[in-house]
Chain A
């Protein structure tokens, strides 16, 4: 180990020839595997382009500007068939993001509730949670989606005999029509005041909480931020003159209701299916995370006089999160990717629109590439954000 030059691996060390030097052999093995892998990749690409040329496949992306000419169900963004394929694809992406975003939030809430129920000492609650988890974890999602869509949401009464729920909210085979608050022209001040309230409340919460932690002084940070959240919008409401918000009530007009907020049966069935399915997995993750906190921690917390609520919020949960977050990330990714099953129950997401574009534009290769790239981007961003969060809550060893 005397010479340290760049060529030192080729010189004899301790009388071992270089071809018997473990480091040299490892390096060679690395080079060989790199050659094999790169060679395979090159072969696949060359083969693919040859095959594409042989079949006369067009591999350009120019078709994205052409008019799509097909309709999209419940497009969310303004869409009509004269818009381009590229825009149709964007509509699909937005629909995927919408259902996954709402799905992730609801699945997390439901998952935590079921996970806590599973740990409850109440026998009935505990067993209900167990049954829920086992049923949902052991039935394929596609089956659950079909069950939610065809026998449940599709078998509701026809639109003329809608079930009227308080609100008024109408439930029929056409979906859920909800009376929904809509902003009136003069509502600008209200919107600004709400936005301002949220920002100020957050700032107050963070600053006052930090002061409380550093100085130990009682700063009533929860109360103060809640007060900001309530008072500012009220002031905004009063300033913006007579009722800035009007309730938009759905009215039966011809075949369908008009007005109000509408959720299609496809969307609701997909959301319910995804949320209940993923929540079962999240519940198990939450249960495992909570059980990973040593019972001694709880006993110690109780012995210093913390209430049950404080024990859960200040001692158990922060420690459980370290175990919960990593598997939770994969559940979020699963939910997002599973949303592509929407295709089979008539909710046209990214993959659904992609499949149509493949057919109508005859560009399978490009569209599959776009679909894969989009899911990859969504997943990578989700994991990036969650990993940053995960790093923040991990145990900092001092």
Chain B
């Protein structure tokens, strides 16, 4: 059992790494940097600033931004900075190893410790404070069970690969050590959620995740917004992410408070139990309130997992460094909402079907909505962002339809497989961005400047293709098992509406992912019928098309060829590509995290007609994308869409993401700010009015009453004796008539 009881080491190892980096190696890095720049460097800096000055003043210069200032670079990384990275990687590797040992032990592959009890093991418990004479206690407790072990394996594995990858991606970044400090804090926050035994701890982790994502999304604080690409500045994006999460957290905390006020406990196991503190007992005859509470708790997941009304922060979060996007999308941030719902699944079951139906429909709507948006985007990372939103929608559908038999199994299984291929997609995108930055000397995420990159970066292209097939549900890849079982389950449950929506979304997913692959790495004229290589567009964009370049694009002075990324970046890609295939073959996953759930069976899957419906839909999506972008060619397709008013209109609407962000901006400008104007008026005229009115009344009274002071002794005397006479009369009356 020691293996289980020592697993707090996994939880606290990233925090330890954080402390070591912040107080140790980062200080080392800062103090060991060259204090004085050499004469050559100063001259170089001067030259650069002169160029920028000229550009800013030039006739075309208003869109120009200071690229070098956006991501401050150092000539070389100091030993302290490098050691920061090594510390994070080594510690995370150990944590990853430990969680794999736990996973293998609990699945029965290894037997180095006795089997884990079904209820799990509480590894740490501390009575924070006690209220009402011991009636209510606030306990900080960590707990592991199979669900937590599955999740911590994903978190530590993806974190490790992202840390490793960041060595290449963040090469020579001035904030290298700081970046690793934030990354470790991020992983710690997520592990805190994974290890949480009660709502109190999960909420702490929840907020820590919000904080660390804020820090990481806004990592390049000096970067400006790019209106031509419809991209906010990282500073804005980080605030947006923080605020969108706050909105969801309001619901989350109200939900927790409803549960706590009625049961008197935060503890998941106690809440799910049948005792006096369990929801079954506390909400007996009042299930509507429990349903409301669980929907409010789900609001937290809507914010954190970027579901429909609050998803807007996730595309903006693309402004962070790409490894951060991978971490956010695969393991640490958006997974928190799904994991939280899975963790509180018994409570959802207790709340009755409405709560889970709500979860499923929010997920389904988000899935199809985000997939629609992803169809037309030019921005590679934005496609991936919307694909994450869409896939998270699938996870919530899976959670919603799981029921008491499957539990959170389908949703968590998709989370599990998705973590690998989505991390892979983002790391590939990072590799592409790295290459494009080298080629065009500017940050380029727009696919109009890419195309045919498979020739230059074959490893990235192959791994991206693997992830594309996995996310599309191509047979025998991991997404095929996890996603199709969710779609099949909606049909089995009789929710035909959900079935149609998820099925259509699957087709759209296949379409936009293959579109992204072809537009980035291949194109018409490449080998294998346009699936490999092909013309590289470069700074010219889609030649001869009015929509083929960014608005205000000034071109690039000395273009170079893109190149494959260094091994620090490609090794994680290869590992994740393998994981993207094999992760789906853990058929016992449902039963592992939810005792009693049936295992997947390859024979059943392959003989089920619904599987083949799903495959056909996926192939329709893939084939349509292949036809449009590899056979017909993007230029021609784009021309047709551009010249057809209806298609052009639809294209513009989806390209602008249904103008939801603009709608929110309007709501905030006229709703929230309007309300604040009303409140400001209330403050000015009512609150200030009362204060100033009191002062004015006192002043006026003083001005008028001072005339009573005549200064004549005799008038005072009249007043004095008049008062005495009055008092005498009063006393007389009282004494005479009131006994």
Q: A and B: partners?
A: no
